[in-house]
Chain A
Amino acid sequence: MLHLPIYLDYSATTPVDPRVVDRMVPYLREKFGNPASRSHAYGWEAEEAVENAREQVATLVGADPKEIVWTSGATESINLALKGAAHFYRERGRHLVTVKTEHKATLDTMRELEREGFEVTYLDVDADGMLDLGAFERSLRPDTILASVMYVNNEIGVVQDIPALGELLRSRGVLFHVDSAQATGKLPIDLAALKVDLMSFSAHKTYGPKGVGALYIRRKPRVRIEAQIHGGGHERGFRSGTLPTHQIVGMGEAFRIAGEEMAAENERVRMLRDRLMRGLMEMEEVHLNGHLERRVPHNLNLSFNYVEGESLLMAIKDIAVSSGSACTSASLEPSYVLRALGRSDELAHSSIRFTIGRFTTEEEIDFAVQLIKGKVAKLREMSPLWEMVKEGVDLDTVQWAAH
């Protein structure tokens, strides 16, 4: 029996794995101590749990536990990394580099740094969403202090060449921050080998709880950042505030499970994703957004040409997915990520992001394929654009009465 709506939005958030919940609950009940309490067993017990979790997170990404700082989530980690490094190294230079398809947590932080007087270069990507290494290198200046690139794109799932970018940036003496919110549990990360200085993590994209994340801050060679939140000097002064023990325990356990099960899980998820893709691409005029091979197995982003995204979402309300169309906003702006790929507004408006995960079943995928095929056919029957295309009209030659 299917539970509706079927959840195919794992890149928005994941359910907390039941094993993770079981680990967390004691730290809400009897093990409620403050890990900063040094004077009694409640505090020691909580501190031990926090340090155990720190080791679990460090293990997944090949880091030393001392390089991990707890935060409230990837957005805070990104803010701390970018503002913290930019502020510390501002005397060395004022130029920062990032990419147009980054998450808003990075883009908005960069905008804020621009207001503070920094200069930011926003690099383009190609039609598949990939960065050009040559263009990246050409963007670097003598006064470039920091670059920020996401490992896995949240909308189209493409994986950037972080090892190569790391080599380039290290050789040029530029600090490198990587947003890995969408990467953990999806691809192996080895910070012992990667030349990355700062890396942001989130728990809730990897079957952990919301409201907790971490920032990796390299010790060798040492990276300095200025704290953004001041208080009791927790986390060696990098991030003050009482640690949420239960959240941290949850993140640790979630990352431990990810490390153990990633390889097998990815194969299963890839099989489901390919099944979904095959089923949907049997229809005409369905376009894949983002590079087919250089992407995580969980993500499928398709544009259903001549069907508007929001009406499609409404038609397929028995499945929970995201649309690249932001028709609900006053601006009617479609996804800036798809626009950066050079997709037309029409294709961007008609895009749907499917993200598959640990609890997705074959039965759910088959249900989704049947539902979407039927609804796309119905909406195209209702679409004047589809009618014109079928009559042989080239839509690019039509003079639209814009409004």
Chain B
Amino acid sequence: MAYSEKVIDHYENPRNVGAFDKGDPHVGTGMVGAPACGDVMKLQIKVSDTGIIEDAKFKTYGCGSAIASSSLVTEWVKGKSLDEAMQLKNTQIAEELALPPVKIHCSILAEDAIKAAIDDYRRKHTAGDAGEAREARREAA
């Protein structure tokens, strides 16, 4: 399958691969997809006290387009507020990476992953208590 240059660039030099401590109250974790489908994305954000995403990390099991989509999203959300990051649409990812129709699901997965990470962070902060936050995260996963 022919990939766009941007997909190949993100695939060969993925940005922000790694993990944060899931228990850290500043961290939100989103994990979406299923191994049986061939894609699992884990996206994490580190949020400042003022509600800005300071840093993002990902790990992805999936095809080149899935890896590129998650790498791109970690770049895009850095410096954004949570509300701004919630506005991110899969179509923007698909367009930027010039994904073919059979790979659109990769961009949808990346959008789902960032939303799941934000939800996880927000749940931690409404729940308040660290123990409950861990429960919430487990449910999200």
Contact = CB atoms under 8 A, between A and B. Distances in A.
Interface of A: 306-311, 314, 325, 327-330, 332, 334, 344-346, 349, 381-387, 395, 398-403
B9 to A, nearest CB: 12
Contacts of A346: 35-36
Given A308-B63, A311-B63, A314-B64, A327 B38 contact: yes
Interface stretch (B54-62, B73-81, B125-133): B54-62
14 contacts: A307-B61, A311-B64, A311-B66, A314-B11, A344-B36, A384-B60, A386-B61, A401-B34, A402-B36, A403-B32, A403-B33, A403-B39, A403-B108, A403-B112
Interface string B12-56: 001001010000000000011111111111100000000000000
A309 to B, nearest CB: 8
B118 interface: no
A314 B14 CA distance: 14
Given A346-B35, A384-B59, A403-B108, 19 more contacts: A307-B61, A308-B63, A314-B3, A314-B11, A314-B64, A328-B1, A334-B38, A345-B35, A346-B36, A381-B17, A382-B14, A384-B60, A385-B61, A386-B61, A395-B35, A398-B141, A399-B141, A400-B40, A402-B33
Q: Name the 4 nearest CB pairs between A and B, nearest first.
A: A400-B34, A384-B42, A345-B36, A310-B63
**Chief secondary structure at chain B's binding surface:** mixed
Nearest to B59: A384
B109 interface: yes
A372 B37 CA distance: 23
Taking residues whose C-beta sits less than 8 angstroms from the other chain, chain B's interface range is: 20 to 34
B34 A402 contact: yes
Nearest to A333: B38
A81 B108 CA distance: 47
A328 B40 CA distance: 16
Q: Which of B11, B38, B59, B109 has the most CB of A within 10 A?
A: B38
B105 to A, nearest CB: 7
B5 to A, nearest CB: 13
Contacts of B105: 403
B61 A308 contact: yes
A400 to B, nearest CB: 3
B94 to A, nearest CB: 15
B61 A384 contact: yes
A306 B34 contact: no
A309 B66 CA distance: 12
A396 to B, nearest CB: 10
Nearest to A399: B141
Contacts of A385: 35, 40, 61
